[in-house]
């Protein structure tokens, strides 16, 4: 995925969907933030903000925050809409080892008993169904040398629901996968954030025990002046909770 972007300096993210920035010409303006999460470590004052521009004249805020370049020179994709796009690109290119052998792909299919929509539904040559739920990982652990990523970055009732739905699909005889899309260049492994959402960590362990596959793939960032290429390429280890590794 190649995106044409411009850069600015972050003043602050002061509302859930808005942040103030300083453009390269010194102008201060507001941009849209397509991220409902806490964005811990992704929105520090004076970080570099890489933003896209919309041609839609009906938009109040034409700029959208895509990537943070931190003062430690980490790249973080903060636009959560990109995660599914990156995963779909990887599925199409057959670069996810666990998911390269499929026949059809559908998006946003209703499933389960809790009124959910699965991110991707695959079928193979034998018509076996594979349900894939995608979660973005951007939270890096504390400490200047930490490479541990965590999910979630805030209590997520929606995420808990999705784990229950995946377990139900597995119980019905289907294949069920939770795919962590790691959107932070500094993260080298993913762990359930038990210290943030203990219930989610518990459900994730239960899901793994019941046969739900839990995998993680990391995005690589390549910068060329105003273009940044993002590709989901590297498989990472997943740790379900402290001292529990798979």
Assigned architecture for domain 81-245: 3-Layer(aba) Sandwich (3.40)
Q: Which fold does the domain 2-77 belong to in CATH?
A: OB fold (Dihydrolipoamide Acetyltransferase, E2P) (2.40.50)
Residues of the chain with pLDDT under 50: 243-246
Q: Six-digit token pair at 204?
A: 């994730």
Residues of the chain with CATH 2.40.50.580: 2-77
**Which residues on adjacent β-strands are paired with residue 161?**
none
pLDDT on residue 240: 77
pLDDT on residue 242: 62
pLDDT on residue 143: 63
- Extended strands (E) in 112-212: 116-123, 129-137, 139-140, 148-151, 175-182, 189-192
Q: Give SS3 for 221.
A: strand
Q: Is the dihedral of CA 41, 80, 91, 200 positive or negative?
A: positive
Contact, 47 vs 70, CB < 8 A? yes
pLDDT on residue 145: 60
Residues of the chain with CATH 3.40.1350.60: 81-245
Contact, 219 vs 231, CB < 8 A? yes
Helix axes 198-209, 157-171, angle to 10 degrees: 10
User: How far is it, in rounded angstroms, from Cα 50 to Cα 69?
Assistant: 7
């Amino acid at each position: 995925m190649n995106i044409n972007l411009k850069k600015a300096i972050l003043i602050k993210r002061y509302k859930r969907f808005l942040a103030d920035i300083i453009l390269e010409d010194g102008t201060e303006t507001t941009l849209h933030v397509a991220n409902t999460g806490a964005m811990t470590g992704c929105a520090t004052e004076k970080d570099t903000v890489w933003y896209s521009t919309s041609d839609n004249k009906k938009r109040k805020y034409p700029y959208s925050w895509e990537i943070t370049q931190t003062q430690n020179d980490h790249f973080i994709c903060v636009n959560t809409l990109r995660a599914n796009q990156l995963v779909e690109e990887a599925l199409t290119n057959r670069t996810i080892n666990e998911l390269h052998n499929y026949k059809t792909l559908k998006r946003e299919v209703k499933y389960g008993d809790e009124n959910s929509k699965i991110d991707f539904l695959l079928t193979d040559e034998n018509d076996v169904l594979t349900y894939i739920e995608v979660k973005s990982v951007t939270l890096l652990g504390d400490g200047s040398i930490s490479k541990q990523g965590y999910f979630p970055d805030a209590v997520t009732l929606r995420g808990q629901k999705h784990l229950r739905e995946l377990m139900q699909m597995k119980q019905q005889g289907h294949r069920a996968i939770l795919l962590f899309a790691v959107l932070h260049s500094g993260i080298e492994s993913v762990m359930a954030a038990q210290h943030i959402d203990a219930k989610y960590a518990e459900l994730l362990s239960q899901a793994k025990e019941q046969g739900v596959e839990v995998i993680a793939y990391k995005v690589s960032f390549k910068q060329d002046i105003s273009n940044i290429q993002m590709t989901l390429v590297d498989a990472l280890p997943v740790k379900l909770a402290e001292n529990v590794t798979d």
